[in-house]
Structure 1
Amino acid sequence: MPQSRKIIFSITILYTILILYFIFLAFGRLGTVEQMAGYTFIFVPDSFFKLPSISDLLHPTLMDFVDFGNLTAFIPFGILIPLLYRISFIRFITWFILCILAIETIQALTLLGSFDVNDAIQNSIGAAVGFGAYKLGFRTQNVWSLLATTGISVIVLLIGVWGFCGLVDKAFTQEEGPFAAINELKDSAGNTLTGTKRYSFEMGGQNVEPQYNVFSVEGKNRETYTYMLGSKEKLVFSLFYGIPDQTDNKGSISVFVDGHEVFSSSEKYQLREPEMFEIPIESVSELTITVEGNEKLWDVGYRKMKYFWN
């Protein structure tokens, strides 16, 4: 074995040991084994295109470093392996994916982590970037030119992958649409205007000016509002609530989605100031709101989750 190949082989072995250490032993993994309730296998990819943005890197979190590390830490394999063996990209990436899947499986079975297909995809993208940089950089015999070209190729390919992943993530990430007030819908009787008229009131020493609607008992002890939403999906439901000043501190509210209670509150758990409740709802056909006592709800409505092209 030529001297240069021995050096590359030694670097590959040492780097592999380092990566395996971080995968199986780093971050206190051994100390968390006893806390694991069971094996974790994530087979459906959902966030492998979610790489940290430039704004994220200005104030990075631990997960930003993990996501970026999942990509960049495996770039060297795309350079070192082709230097050791003449191999096509298809063969290289196939073997690499099989090895990563095996490592992820061992991680899960030993309770030193989880099998996460998102990590495997990010690792494979990093290895592919390295292989591309090798193909672009190793076309000269001059060592300094070789290193410079390979380094620049890594940076250019990383930026390209970063931008592509950002576009794909945006294309497949839903965002909140415009607010739709609940009183714009029809109630169970087919009426479109329910709830009391909008009016201002004092709460917590501040003046509250509802923008869309107000719900209260209006002289009764209890009032129930029921809406048929027609099987709407992917909503973020929200409302403001509280008990106004200069009234008895007595009242409660509850919200039901298709017969299942998703929120309830009473004077025991409230401050005498405006509070907000918000919850994502996968699907809803019937929405029921119950108000008791001096409780008031206002600006009740939802935002539908949409893709940017909708």
Structure 2
Amino acid sequence: MQLKQQRKIIFAITIFYTLFILYFLFFAFGRVGKIDHNTGYTFIFLPEDFFRLPGLSDLLHPTLMDLVGFGNIAAFIPFGILIPLLYRTSFVRFMTSFILSILMLETIQALTFLGSFDMNDVIQNSLGAAIGFGAYKLGFRTRNIRRNIVATGISSVILMLGVWGIFGVVDHTFTKEMGPFVAINDLRDSTGNPSTGTKPSSFKVGGQDVEPQYNVYSTEGKNKETYMYSLGNKKEVYLFLNYGIPDQKDSQGSIRVTADGHEFLTVSVEAGRHEPDMSLIYLPKANELTITIEGNVTLWDVGFREMVYSWNLATGEPMLPK
């Protein structure tokens, strides 16, 4: 096959593939039908989780977002192969042109309400093009076109797997996880005195047996009691607390949780109307924790799990609140 014919075929493939991608960018997934429902432009400049690709376990039961994240990279690998085959270009020049093109397309998507401008997509698409360019450089080293295509395909798979592995390591390294459960057994009451609550013992709430494992807090005969706890410094935590009104007490009450003056939870409870309940409260940066109890509400197994990076996780299995 002559070089000119090969070039025509490659050019035709590039045009058709570009139109195919443009269709998915602007018209697929019912984008046109959603235009009337959009009330404003969507520009996402700060990417979230762009380091995450679906893991092996995710591929067994992939979600739509897993497939989108993987496809955002894989779908743009061919551009990194086809464009260098048509035009002599360096990696820097190719990537600069490609990124500018993707930025333009993302902007058009947002302005026409056919999608959103998402920097996450720009990063993933550009990564796919970079993988394709690397595969082209590794694969097209001989005059045998078939051998070059096979070598490029294998190189694409190897580079994609390499990126997959690197992204997995980066995602694991920079993603926070819940640390061990820490029971809060040293609250201070409204007078500033230490309070360990009452001794954990079984009781019934809504006809169900409750057996606290760590602590029990209530108003201790008052109408209202406020407990305070200091985390020591600003921490990102999930606060756990179980609550209810014991069956032998026929009253109502409420719980209010604040952190550094910001309210995160207010719940009203009535006797005999609720089964034992649990609240999981996310506190982004908390230091001074305040829990206010009114009426006959009882709290038990109050504690938190701090969000920490994997290298800071303590060894051993974390305790989980019951």
Show the counterpart of 1:159: 161
User: If the length of structure 1 is used for normalisation, what is the TM-score?
Assistant: 0.93
Q: CA RMSD of the aligned region, Å?
A: 2.0
Letter in 2 for 1:153: S
C-alpha displacement at 1:159, in angstroms?
0.5
Shift of the alpha carbon at 1:279?
1.8
Aligned to 2:105: 103
Quote the residue 1:243 is aligned against. Answer: 245
Counterpart amino acid of residue 34 in structure 2: T
Q: Distance in 2 between matches of 1:24 and 1:232?
A: 44
Residue in structure 2 matched with residue 175 of structure 1 by the alignment: 177
Give the match for residue 78 of structure 1: 80
Question: 1:242, CA displacement in angstroms?
Answer: 1.5
Match for residue 272 of structure 1 among 271, 274, 286: 274
Deviation at 1:268, TM superposition (A): 5.4
Structure 1 stretches of 5 or more lacking a match? none
- Counterparts of 1:128-143 in structure 2 under 5 Å? 128-143=130-145
TM-score (structure 2 length as normaliser)? 0.90
* CA distance 1:53–1:106, shift in 2 (3 Å): same
Classify the secondary structure of the residue corresponding to 1:309. helix
Distance, in Å, in 2 between the alignment partners of 1:285 and 1:189 is 19
- Distance (Å, rounded) in 2 between the aligned partners of 1:281 and 1:124: 35
Whether the 8 Å CA contact 2:75–2:128 is kept in 1: the answer is yes
State the number of aligned residues. Answer: 310
1:46-103 CA deviation, whole Å, 9 max, x = no partner? Answer: 3111111111111111111111110100000011001101111111111111111111
- The aligned residue for residue 208 of structure 1 is 210
CA contact (8 A) 1:245 1:272 kept: no
Contact 1:242/1:270 (8 A) holds in 2: no
The offset of 1:24, in angstroms, is 1.1
- 2:189 and 2:226 in contact (8 A); partners too: no
1:229 paired with 2:223, answer no
Which ranges of structure 2 fall in alignment gaps of 5 or more residues?
Answer: 313-322
Match of 1:148 in 2: 150
Q: Which amino acid aligns with 2:284?
A: E
Identity among equivalent pairs (%):
63
SS at match of 1:12: helix
Residue type of the alignment partner of 2:25: I
* Equivalent residue runs for 1:5-84 within 5 Å: 5-84=7-86
Query: 3-state DSSP class of the match of 2:311?
Result: coil
Distance 2:229 2:83 in 1: 62
Runs of 4+ in structure 1 deviating by more than 4 angstroms, as ranges, are: 185-192, 268-271
